[in-house]
Structure 1
Amino acid sequence: MIAVHRVNVWVHDQQAACAFWTEKVEFELRADATFPELGGFRWLTVGPPGGGGPELVLMAIPEPPVVTREQSDLIRTVTSQGLGGAIFLATDDVRRDHALLTARGVEFTEEPEARPYGLDAGFRDPSGNQVRLTQSRHDGGTA
């Protein structure tokens, strides 16, 4: 069986991203390793508590010589504007988790709203990545 294990998320600052995901969203730190032999490359992953579910790889935006300056700037711009795709988080209660995350300082760009597929709210991480908090109809959501 093939399953999603990790998803790469470009971040501007790995330390700020790690703090956001572990302190505000309350994901757990899964891996944090720095490799001097790879120029100080840092492998940093977080995921839902309890070790289940896919991990987010909080990947620093690459710099030259790995990519060109133009490519690095493009990744940074696209990420900042929330155009690099979205992270979809599932919950069984959007309103509860919206309140919890708001109390922890997460700024929502969209309040919980009924959609054809359930309840949905949106926020961004410190790098600008879009995050959707979704409660599917089959999980108790109403539309």
Structure 2
Amino acid sequence: MISSLRITQIYVLDQQEALDFYVGTLGLEVSDDQDLGFMRWLTVAVPGNPDRKILLERPGPPSMDERTAEQVRDLLTKGAAGGHLFFVCDDARAEYDRLVARGVDITDEPTVRPYGTDFGLRDPFGNHIRITQLADVPATA
């Protein structure tokens, strides 16, 4: 039986730029940064939650050949092949204001929804991100 999810993956075109964004702008922490020879294994995590990591992977070997990698890079830059990340915060409006001040590409302003207040943004590579302040919603039967 599966008991948890440890690592999820998104494609990035430049791992140093990804570090600057995910660590320097969003405030995540580096979990792993290892040169494996055939690839750089680079993961980040939400502070205080090191057991759930995001692998920031460049399209290419060993997971795909160069022709496929070029197609993925092209789709990624168009916002058509990016991943989706969903984060939770305590104050969506304050987080939105902080990220706007840092020049982040905001796609949706904070909106109150039945599950909470959330907004959308994109990383420098086209990956979609949602940040949500969860509402106190009673459990359904």
Instruction: Tell me which interval the TM-score lies in, with the shorter structure as reference length.
Output: 0.7 to 0.9
Output aligned runs, 1:11-50, within 5 Å. Answer: 11-36=12-37, 38=38, 41-50=39-48
The question of whether the paired residues in 2 share the 8 Å contact of 1:80 and 1:129 is answered with: no
- Determine the structure 1 residue equivalent to 2:112: 114
CA distance in 1, matches of 2:91, 2:43: 25
- Determine the structure 1 residue equivalent to 2:71: 74
Percent identical pairs in the alignment equals: 36
- Determine the structure 2 residue equivalent to 1:54: 52
CA distance in 2, matches of 1:88, 1:65: 24
CA distance in 1, matches of 2:94, 2:47: 17
- Determine the structure 2 residue equivalent to 1:10: 11
Aligned length: 135
CA distance in 2, matches of 1:65, 1:90: 30
CA distance in 1, matches of 2:61, 2:130: 28
CA deviations 1:84-138 (Å, max 9, x no partner) are 3411011121101111122222221111011232211011011110000112222
> Where has structure 1 moved over 6 Å in runs of 4 or more?
none
CA distance in 2, matches of 1:113, 1:46: 27
The question of whether the paired residues in 1 share the 8 Å contact of 2:78 and 2:126 is answered with: yes
**Runs of at least 5 residues in structure 2 that lack an aligned partner in the other structure:** none
Q: Which moved more, 1:50-59 or 1:19-28?
A: 50-59
**Runs of at least 5 residues in structure 1 that lack an aligned partner in the other structure:** none
CA distance in 2, matches of 1:101, 1:111: 11
The question of whether the paired residues in 1 share the 8 Å contact of 2:10 and 2:83 is answered with: no
**Residue type matched to 1:13 in 2?**
D
